[in-house]
């Protein structure tokens, strides 16, 4: 009986060993294939037991293809993202350029309008001076001379400039020698004056100031106010700005502005530097 038991135990032992070998052998084969690779993997898959453990070749290839495609997809997504960012930047730059172009067009239109307005203003001024010159030339020389002597030198020169030389000589001969001499000098240099109209206005203001200060003026403050109200606001602003530096002139200018209409005074103040405008506003308020 003991012999039978020993024989049975021996059989089981052999079976166990065989089973262990069959179990370990595929693992060893897989390890060898993993480290060696190459054709051995393909041959190992032909072994029945080993083929059950090792992955299928097509499955491996498919997995690699998927990995490659995934990497390419990620790279493509990164490129697309970069392109979208660049496109947004370009669109923003384009919008800025379009806005800049619109601003330049608007500035150009404004400049053209100002230029046209200046041309018309210059033509109108020349026409008015020509009309005045024709009126004075049609008067008797003595009558024209007496009227022109009551103007400033620049005002009289602007009118004479639009007359013929014979008409100028006829009127100058009827003026006082001193006024005629001074007027001739101004007339000679008139073309060199950058802004004759402004020069005439400044002379007129000086005349008005002297008349008021000497208390013998034929021109009242109200007439001075009327004179300034007939000027362009920017011209009046420049004159008032020049008068701001000296105390007596500033007081006179503030008095004139205080007697002006609100609308005209506001336009003049708008054309001044802010600090100078504030100085005048405080003086007027006091």
User: What is the predicted pLDDT for the residue at 134?
Assistant: 93
Q: Is residue 10 part of a domain?
A: no
User: What is the predicted pLDDT for the residue at 138?
Assistant: 92
Q: Is residue 6 part of a domain?
A: no
Asked whether residue 140 falls in the same domain as residue 229, the answer is: no
The percent of residues in the chain predicted with pLDDT above 70, rounded, is 65
Asked whether residue 115 falls in the same domain as residue 175, the answer is: yes
DSSP readout, 97-149? HHHHHHHHHHHHHHHHHHHHHHHHHHHHHHHHHHHHHHHHHHS-HHHHHHHHT
Give the integer Cα–Cα distance in Å for 123 and 157: 18
Asked whether residue 82 falls in the same domain as residue 170, the answer is: yes
Residues of the chain with pLDDT under 50: 1-3, 5, 33, 35, 37-38, 49-50, 120, 215-218
In 3-state terms, what secondary structure has residue 4?
Answer: helix
Asked whether residue 121 falls in the same domain as residue 233, the answer is: no
Q: Is residue 7 part of a domain?
A: no
Specify the number of domains making up the chain: 3
User: What is the predicted pLDDT for the residue at 183?
Assistant: 86
Residue 13 structure tokens: 């032992």
Give the integer Cα–Cα distance in Å for 156 and 172: 11
Q: What is the dihedral of CA 111, 113, 115, 119, to 10 degrees?
A: 180
Q: Is residue 229 part of a domain?
A: yes
Asked whether residue 206 falls in the same domain as residue 231, the answer is: yes
Q: Is residue 220 part of a domain?
A: yes
Asked whether residue 219 falls in the same domain as residue 275, the answer is: yes
Closest of 280, 244, 276 to residue 265, by C-alpha: 280
Closest of 261, 271, 195 to residue 229, by C-alpha: 261
Instruction: Please tell me the pTM assigned to this model.
Output: 0.37
Q: Is residue 12 part of a domain?
A: no
Asked whether residue 178 falls in the same domain as residue 265, the answer is: no
Could you tell me the residue range of the domain that residue 270 belongs to?
A: 195-286
Is the separation of the CB atoms in 30 and 50 below 8 Å? yes
Q: Number of helices (H) and strands (E), helices first, in the chain? A: 14, 0
Torsion over CA: 60, 64, 65, 69 (sign) = positive
Asked whether residue 172 falls in the same domain as residue 208, the answer is: no
Give the integer Cα–Cα distance in Å for 137 and 131: 10
User: What is the predicted pLDDT for the residue at 24?
Assistant: 57
CATH number at residue 161: 1.10.220
Q: Is residue 141 part of a domain?
A: yes
- 163, 193, 223 - which closes a domain: 193
User: What is the predicted pLDDT for the residue at 217?
Assistant: 44
- 34, 61, 88 - which closes a domain: 61
Is the separation of the CB atoms in 170 and 143 below 8 Å? no
Residue range 64-95, pLDDT digits in tens:
888 888 888 888 888 888 888 888 888 888 78
Residue range 243-254, pLDDT digits in tens:
888 777 888 888
Q: Is residue 16 part of a domain?
A: no
């Amino acid at each position: 009986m003991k012999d039978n038991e020993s024989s049975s135990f021996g059989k089981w032992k052999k079976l166990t060993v065989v089973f262990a070998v069959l179990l370990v052998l595929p693992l060893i084969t897989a390890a060898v294939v993993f480290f060696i690779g190459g054709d051995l993997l393909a041959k190992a898959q032909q072994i029945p037991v080993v083929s059950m453990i090792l992955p299928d070749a097509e499955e491996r290839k498919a997995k690699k293809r998927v990995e490659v495609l995934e990497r390419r997809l990620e790279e493509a997504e990164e490129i697309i993202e970069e392109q979208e960012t660049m496109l947004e930047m370009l669109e923003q730059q384009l919008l800025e350029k379009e806005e800049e172009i619109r601003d330049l067009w608007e500035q150009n239109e404004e400049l053209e309008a100002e230029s046209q307005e200046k041309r018309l203003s210059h033509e109108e001024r020349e026409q008015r001076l020509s009309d005045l010159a024709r009126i004075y030339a049609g008067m008797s020389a003595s009558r024209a001379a007496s009227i022109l002597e009551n103007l400033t030198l620049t005002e009289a020169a602007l009118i004479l400039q639009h007359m013929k030389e014979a008409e100028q000589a006829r009127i100058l001969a009827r003026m006082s020698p001193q006024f005629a001499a001074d007027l001739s000098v101004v007339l000679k240099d008139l073309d060199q004056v950058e802004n004759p109209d402004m020069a005439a206005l400044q002379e007129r203001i000086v005349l008005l100031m002297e008349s008021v200060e000497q208390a013998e003026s034929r021109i009242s403050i109200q007439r001075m106010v009327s004179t300034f109200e007939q000027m362009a606001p920017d011209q009046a602003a420049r004159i008032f700005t020049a008068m701001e530096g000296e105390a007596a002139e500033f007081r006179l200018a503030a008095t004139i502005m205080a007697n002006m209409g609100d609308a005209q005074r506001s336009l003049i103040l708008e054309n001044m530097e802010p600090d100078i405008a504030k100085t005048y506003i405080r003086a007027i308020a006091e």
